[in-house]
Chain A
Amino acid sequence: MSAHSFSRRHLLGGAAALSLGALPFGRARAAGPLTVGFIYVGPKDDYGYNQAHAQGAAALKAIPGLQVVEEENVRETTDVQKSMESMINLDGAGLIFPTSFGYFDPHVLIEAKKNPKVQFRHCGGLWTEANPKNAGSYFGYIAQGQYLNGIAAAHASKSKRLGFVAAKPVPQVLNNVNGFLLGARSVDPSITLQVIFTGEWSLAVKEAEATNALIDGGADVITCHVDGPKVVVETAARRGAFVCGYHADQSALAKDKYLTGAEWNWASIYKGFVADMQAGKAPPNFVRGGLPDGFVKMSPYGPAVSEAARRNADAVKAEMMKGGFAIIRGPLKDNKGNEIAGPGTALAENAIELEKTNYLVEGVKGSA
């Protein structure tokens, strides 16, 4: 297809949108054959974030009348706009999942305004009521998983110092760091957590260096929030530290050093969205869920997790399964001494403030 017909189609689409501006374009296309697009920031086989989404996409492929198109290694730049436009204009995609955090602002917002008939659902917590109605966001309360990781870590740690390799200081990452430490502190309030931000979602060698630096600094249990936890898990296990997994099950990489892990289960969300589309309605703009909703699950316990640790974590998990579990409970300060939550305050998992977290809690060594 030449660039000319590409832009002409765009002009026609724009004209149609103008002339029919009064009609409710926020609605989805009518039921019928549907093409769903997935865009990943890294490779689909990264044993982590992108793989978890790709598994969700793979679960859709068996649905009749549905076509799935995917593109991997798309940077968080105007590249992703081009990728979305080609899915819309060439593949006829009616529902697009741009899965990486940095895709949303401005790229998804621009494309959503340009293509009112197409539904965009972004993974992360950035969509608000002020944004286009044909966009939306979905996410899981995986900080709960990191809280349970923290409980297992606290029981396994001898040095009482934990380590966290983090990508970027954005709310979801900070919530996970905070969740991991607060889970550990629920077992032993003297535990501290050292965090290193690598600055990128995927920087294999730097992630290994960061893991080594944490262990050199005395940490004996490591977890992470990067796109591919493989490097961190393997490096930590090789150095003799325990590890908690993230995104997917990495137990095979660390065997007896793997405690447990916080995993995604995106297939349930994706199937729900597709069912909405096929029924002729737009999927919800704001979808969140945690352990009780089946959006998040835990890896099976490794052999190093003691009986006491299992009982402790299982009891807290049972609490979480009831819904409304608050990780952030007052009185609580951040690591600069500012009060986050006064006495008696509790931010339940679905508290909207948590999608704007910009602090690290007391006990975390590091700067957001």
Chain B
Amino acid sequence: MSLDIVQMVLVTVLAAATPLILAAIGELVVERAGVLNLGVEGMMVFGAAAGFAVATETGSTGLGALGGAGAGLLLAALFGVLTVGLAANQVASGLALTILGLGLSGLVGAGYVGMKRDPAPHLHLPGFTDLPGIGRLLFGQDAFVYAALLLVAGVWWFLWRTRAGLTLRAIGDDHTATHALGLKVRKVRFLAVLFGGACAGLAGAYLSLAYTPFWAPAMTAGRGWIALALVVFASWQPLRVAAGALLFGGATVLQLHAQAAGLGLPGQLLSAAPYLATILALVLLSLGRRRGGSLAPAALGRVFAPSR
């Protein structure tokens, strides 16, 4: 019985971490390529609205997920044209993208406020899913959760085990030198930005299709910003992104369980717990970094304009 409660809590922790993993792993690739896209929140919320709209119109959660990813990709393409193509300021463009995404999501979602759908189906393997203690945790999630975990593994493999990944990291560290070597800096960066956008859009679609299957204005409620912080927190390492997302998702969900269990702390303090945990983790990490940890990609946020 108690084992089942632990499992139940872990299932909700994993679910709460999934949108953060999806958005953060995309942004990690973008930043590894040397581009800082602060528009994650905007791409995510637009993905949530568009994903819900597509799923409702077509009746298919899968198409909805594609629609959400596509919406994020569309906004990212705009960002890519501005910052990679036209060498516009990345910080300003990213902030503008967040505002644009929030506005567009309101526009697209206007007709869908208050509508509901069934949540995305959960995996059910007879025999496996019913295993006590771990069955639901390992074999009972929805497709988004498995996709998020596969993405983390895939991005890790890509960045550290493939030549293309090496190129991408090199471009993020020194765009001038890699350009001189004949590597296609702008093409790689643009593709990375598109990938990040699709991931952020998918993260939004997860919220509106699986996590809480409805659309509500501004429902991402700052998760895009948390994903951005997670990338820093994780020192631009994919596996640490997943760990950080689980930590943050865990703090979010556990504070709710703590309140419901009647822990004698004020609700306001418990609500702040995830953020306090993030700050604490960032402080501890930066202390560790003095002894030589991983650093940000050297060219992060710097505009690249090739001289011909």
Chain A interface residues (CB < 8 Å from chain B): 43, 45, 47, 163, 169, 194-199, 203-206, 208-210, 212-214, 216-217, 219, 228, 230-231, 234-235, 238, 253, 335, 364-368
Whether A367 and B267, one on each chain, are in contact in the complex, defined by CB atoms closer than 8 angstroms, is yes
Residue numbers in A under 8 Å from B265 (CB-CB): 367
Given known pairs A197-B271, A205-B221, the reply for A213 and B212 (CB within 8 Å) is no
Whether A194 and B267, one on each chain, are in contact in the complex, defined by CB atoms closer than 8 angstroms, is no
Q: Is the interface of A mostly helix, strand, loop or mixed?
A: mixed
Which stretch (B65-73, B81-89, B165-173, B251-259) binds chain A? B251-259
Given known pairs A197-B259, A197-B267, A205-B219, the reply for A212 and B12 (CB within 8 Å) is yes
B113 at the interface (CB under 8 A from A): yes
A-B residue pair count with CB separations less than 8 angstroms: 99
Identify the closest chain A residue to B271 (Cβ). A199
Complex Cα distance A111/B256, Å?
38
Chain B residues 120-171 with CB under 8 Å of chain A are none
Identify the closest chain A residue to B5 (Cβ). A216
Identify the closest chain A residue to B8 (Cβ). A216
Q: 10 closest A-B pairs (Cβ-Cβ)?
A: A365-B262, A197-B267, A204-B216, A213-B256, A208-B212, A194-B260, A217-B260, A199-B271, A196-B259, A216-B8
Whether A206 and B260, one on each chain, are in contact in the complex, defined by CB atoms closer than 8 angstroms, is no
Complex Cα distance A212/B260, Å?
10
Complex Cα distance A43/B267, Å?
26
Whether B268 and A197, one on each chain, are in contact in the complex, defined by CB atoms closer than 8 angstroms, is yes
Residue numbers in A under 8 Å from B271 (CB-CB): 197-199
B264 at the interface (CB under 8 A from A): yes
Nearest CB of B to A254, in Å: 11
Residue numbers in B under 8 Å from A196 (CB-CB): 256, 259-260, 267
Identify the closest chain B residue to A163 (Cβ). B260
Residue numbers in A under 8 Å from B212 (CB-CB): 204-205, 208-209, 231, 235
Identify the closest chain B residue to A202 (Cβ). B216
- The number of chain B residues with a CB under 8 A from chain A is 33
Nearest CB of B to A191, in Å: 14
Residue numbers in A under 8 Å from B113 (CB-CB): 43, 45
25 contacts between A and B (CB under 8 A): A169-B267, A195-B259, A197-B259, A198-B271, A199-B267, A199-B268, A203-B221, A205-B211, A205-B221, A206-B256, A208-B212, A209-B212, A209-B256, A216-B8, A216-B12, A219-B260, A231-B212, A234-B116, A235-B212, A253-B116, A366-B260, A366-B267, A367-B262, A367-B265, A368-B266
Nearest CB of A to B292, in Å: 39
Residue numbers in B under 8 Å from A335 (CB-CB): 262
Given known pairs A194-B260, A366-B267, the reply for A230 and B114 (CB within 8 Å) is yes
Whether B221 and A365, one on each chain, are in contact in the complex, defined by CB atoms closer than 8 angstroms, is no
Whether A217 and B219, one on each chain, are in contact in the complex, defined by CB atoms closer than 8 angstroms, is no
Complex Cα distance A210/B214, Å?
16
Nearest CB of A to B307, in Å: 47
Whether A204 and B214, one on each chain, are in contact in the complex, defined by CB atoms closer than 8 angstroms, is yes
B97 at the interface (CB under 8 A from A): no
Residue numbers in A under 8 Å from B207 (CB-CB): 205
Complex Cα distance A45/B115, Å?
12
Complex Cα distance A39/B292, Å?
55
Complex Cα distance A47/B113, Å?
10
Complex Cα distance A217/B263, Å?
13
Whether B262 and A213, one on each chain, are in contact in the complex, defined by CB atoms closer than 8 angstroms, is no
Identify the closest chain A residue to B262 (Cβ). A365
Nearest CB of B to A228, in Å: 8
Identify the closest chain A residue to B218 (Cβ). A204
- Other than A366-B267, A367-B263, give 11 A-B pairs with Cβ distance below 8 A: A43-B113, A47-B114, A197-B267, A212-B12, A213-B12, A213-B259, A216-B5, A228-B216, A335-B262, A364-B262, A365-B260
Contact with A along B15-27 (1 / 0, CB 8 A): 0100000000000
Chain B residues 198-226 with CB under 8 Å of chain A are 207, 211-212, 214, 216-217, 219-221
A206: which of B12, B116, B221 is its contact (CB, 8 Å)? Answer: B221
B3 at the interface (CB under 8 A from A): no
Whether B221 and A366, one on each chain, are in contact in the complex, defined by CB atoms closer than 8 angstroms, is no
Whether B261 and A194, one on each chain, are in contact in the complex, defined by CB atoms closer than 8 angstroms, is yes
Nearest CB of A to B91, in Å: 25
Whether B262 and A231, one on each chain, are in contact in the complex, defined by CB atoms closer than 8 angstroms, is no
Complex Cα distance A365/B261, Å?
6
Whether A210 and B256, one on each chain, are in contact in the complex, defined by CB atoms closer than 8 angstroms, is yes
Nearest CB of A to B50, in Å: 17
Residue numbers in B under 8 Å from A368 (CB-CB): 266-267
Nearest CB of B to A177, in Å: 11
Complex Cα distance A194/B214, Å?
25
Nearest CB of A to B198, in Å: 21
Residue numbers in B under 8 Å from A47 (CB-CB): 114
Whether A214 and B264, one on each chain, are in contact in the complex, defined by CB atoms closer than 8 angstroms, is no
Complex Cα distance A335/B16, Å?
31
Identify the closest chain A residue to B268 (Cβ). A199
Whether B16 and A209, one on each chain, are in contact in the complex, defined by CB atoms closer than 8 angstroms, is yes
Residue numbers in A under 8 Å from B8 (CB-CB): 216
Complex Cα distance A163/B113, Å?
26
Complex Cα distance A228/B252, Å?
21
Most B CB atoms within 10 A — which of A205, A214, A217? Answer: A205
Complex Cα distance A87/B271, Å?
36
Nearest CB of A to B109, in Å: 11
Complex Cα distance A216/B8, Å?
7
Whether B253 and A213, one on each chain, are in contact in the complex, defined by CB atoms closer than 8 angstroms, is yes
Nearest CB of A to B24, in Å: 17
Residue numbers in B under 8 Å from A364 (CB-CB): 262
B9 at the interface (CB under 8 A from A): yes
Complex Cα distance A366/B268, Å?
11
Residue numbers in A under 8 Å from B257 (CB-CB): 213, 216-217
Whether B12 and A366, one on each chain, are in contact in the complex, defined by CB atoms closer than 8 angstroms, is no
Residue numbers in B under 8 Å from A216 (CB-CB): 5, 8-9, 12, 257
Complex Cα distance A235/B5, Å?
19
Given known pairs A197-B268, A216-B5, the reply for A366 and B217 (CB within 8 Å) is no
